[in-house]
Structure 1
Amino acid sequence: MTVPPKYADSKYVFLTDFDGTITLTDSNDHMIDNVGMGYDARRVLNEEIISEKLNFRDGFRQMLASVKRPFGEMEELVRRDIKLDPGFKEFYAYAKQNDIPVVIVSSGMEPIIRSILSNLIGEKDASEIDIISNHVRFTDPEGKGDTWEIVYRHPENGYGHDKSLSILPYRELPNPPLLFFAGDGVSDMSAARHADVLFVKDKVDNDLKRYCDNNKIGYHLFKDWTVPKAFIDKLIRGEITESELVTRTK
């Protein structure tokens, strides 16, 4: 990945996971738990991923392969059921007002993310947010999506989509921005070590928090998006310093 030219001179860049971080529920988990292998089987695989007995790429592929419903049906399911974090719209408006790019870095599938996002924040705002994610391939002979599979951004990588590769290019810029990252789950483990400021969503089954605690990675816990907004506002106002906000070990 290369840094988009429009972000090359940004002072701050906020990268964020989508499912379970911007939204209240993970759309992939919602599909898997309700029409796939179910919650208990998914948690068994998540535990193996956290303990690094299984890589995320292979575990997530197993989970999605258990969802044997047409893609269009699944898109309709998540558009109907997935809700936005109550503070995100306000945060996004604040970021735009202060010229802070917001980039979604997701291990989900772009068509699902675009569909949910346009439903939750409107077509205009959704179209303006850059999304770095995986894709989907329809595998039925007619190409209608009766059967489908995930297409990983980095198929050779154990993460499938290694989110650190969306962060590290910013560090090579002549004037690197302060890099924020927000996440909640096992797919965010590769990004956790590389953000300057890490926000971890406070939720049930907080796999990212456990990973960070186990590996002594610093973070700010947040209930909703009013918390990152308040931190950044204090930084811009000069009420806290960058060193007070940064969680990454230099």
Structure 2
Amino acid sequence: MPFPDYLDRKPRLIFFTDFDGTITTVDVWDWLVMTEGYGPEELHRSNQAVMDGTMTFREASREQLESIQIGLDKCIKKAIAHLRIDDGFIPFYQWAVSVGVPIVILSGGLVSLIEAVLKPLVGDELLGIEIVANEAMPRDGFQSVNQDGGSWTIDFRDDTVYGNDKAQAIRSYAEYRDVMAPGEKPILLFAGDGVSDIGAAKQADLLFAKQGQDLAKYCRHQRVPFVEYRNWKSILRTTQDLLWVS
């Protein structure tokens, strides 16, 4: 049920969220780059360059993922074996479905990995969840993304400096909301943790930023209002309270 069908159903809230490091407890792509790519020091340099504004997120993520030397299918298997979903996310998801709150995952990662992680937990239909993310494609000289040796690269969703502009995705809903009747306008929320979420930081009505991570540091530095969270249990409580008063 992609945009704008969610709005046509007139939900009271729409919840946008990052995936890696937000729904999962660790950023799986960072872990893969550290273990199967060019390592933690180069990863830190690349991420810091994005924070400093000397490299775009698009440039950094392409560089990082192209350093991975195993095929995509192996990446997904390793990721599923390593990562954990935040303990509070499934209860949040179940509550959201029960009250008609759509969840829109906005990710700088890959649709294929997100689906592989979520479908065993919530069902193959991913009821109530829309995934807006990138795809993978073979690099020159390779026939398949599943070959080893650096066979794949990221096929970005758009031409922006983010590759997948989370801010524009939220703005699309906000602009559509502007023409809705006053009593039908949903509240837009967003949860994130890292550098890929910076562009979306000012777009939602309420921002959740993960404690101790880059997004919270950025918001403090830029004086962007946010609610700091440790896990999805606290997000659930705040969202339930917001739905109750809205």
Q: TM > 0.5 between the two?
A: yes
Decide whether aligned partners of structure 1 residues 144 and 229 sit closer, same or farther in structure 2, where only a CA change above 3 A counts. Answer: closer
Matching residue's letter, 1:151: D
Q: Does 1:60 align with 2:61?
A: yes
Q: 2:175 aligns with which of 159, 172, 175?
A: 172
In the alignment, the residues of structure 2 paired with residue 144 and residue 49 of structure 1 have an alpha-carbon distance, to the nearest angstrom, of: 27
In the alignment, the residues of structure 2 paired with residue 24 and residue 191 of structure 1 have an alpha-carbon distance, to the nearest angstrom, of: 20
Decide whether aligned partners of structure 1 residues 3 and 81 sit closer, same or farther in structure 2, where only a CA change above 3 A counts. Answer: same
Matching residue of 1:152: 156
The answer (yes or no) to whether the contact 2:4–2:173 under 8 Å persists in 1 is: no
- Give the TM-score normalised by the residue count of structure 2: 0.90
The answer (yes or no) to whether the contact 1:17–1:184 under 8 Å persists in 2 is: yes
**What residue ranges of structure 2 are gaps of 5+ in the alignment?**
none
In the alignment, the residues of structure 2 paired with residue 127 and residue 112 of structure 1 have an alpha-carbon distance, to the nearest angstrom, of: 17
Matching residue's letter, 1:21: T
- Give the TM-score normalised by the residue count of structure 1: 0.88
* Identical pairs, percent: 29
Matching residue's letter, 2:187: L
Counterpart of 1:25 in 2: which secondary structure? coil
Matching residue's letter, 1:138: P
Matching residue's letter, 1:189: I
Decide whether aligned partners of structure 1 residues 130 and 202 sit closer, same or farther in structure 2, where only a CA change above 3 A counts. Answer: same
The answer (yes or no) to whether the contact 2:15–2:103 under 8 Å persists in 1 is: yes
Shift of 1:66: 0.8
Matching residue of 2:23: 22
Matching residue of 2:45: 44
Shift of 1:71: 1.1
Matches within 5 A, 1:195-214: 195-203=204-212, 206-214=213-221
Q: 2:244 aligns with which of 219, 222, 237?
A: 237
In the alignment, the residues of structure 1 paired with residue 123 and residue 217 of structure 2 have an alpha-carbon distance, to the nearest angstrom, of: 35
Matching residue's letter, 1:46: N
Decide whether aligned partners of structure 1 residues 229 and 58 sit closer, same or farther in structure 2, where only a CA change above 3 A counts. Answer: same
In the alignment, the residues of structure 1 paired with residue 142 and residue 62 of structure 2 have an alpha-carbon distance, to the nearest angstrom, of: 21
In the alignment, the residues of structure 2 paired with residue 92 and residue 153 of structure 1 have an alpha-carbon distance, to the nearest angstrom, of: 25
The answer (yes or no) to whether the contact 1:36–1:67 under 8 Å persists in 2 is: yes
Q: Does 1:221 align with 2:228?
A: yes
In the alignment, the residues of structure 2 paired with residue 51 and residue 116 of structure 1 have an alpha-carbon distance, to the nearest angstrom, of: 32
Counterpart of 1:172 in 2: which secondary structure? helix
Shift of 1:118: 2.1
Counterpart of 1:150 in 2: which secondary structure? strand
In the alignment, the residues of structure 2 paired with residue 90 and residue 6 of structure 1 have an alpha-carbon distance, to the nearest angstrom, of: 21
In the alignment, the residues of structure 2 paired with residue 201 and residue 194 of structure 1 have an alpha-carbon distance, to the nearest angstrom, of: 17
Decide whether aligned partners of structure 1 residues 117 and 5 sit closer, same or farther in structure 2, where only a CA change above 3 A counts. Answer: same
In the alignment, the residues of structure 1 paired with residue 125 and residue 239 of structure 2 have an alpha-carbon distance, to the nearest angstrom, of: 21
In the alignment, the residues of structure 1 paired with residue 83 and residue 126 of structure 2 have an alpha-carbon distance, to the nearest angstrom, of: 15
In the alignment, the residues of structure 1 paired with residue 92 and residue 86 of structure 2 have an alpha-carbon distance, to the nearest angstrom, of: 10
Matches within 5 A, 1:48-127: 48-119=49-120, 121-124=121-124, 126=126
Matching residue's letter, 2:41: D
Shift of 1:144: 5.3
Alignment coverage as a number of residue pairs:
234
Matching residue's letter, 1:194: Q
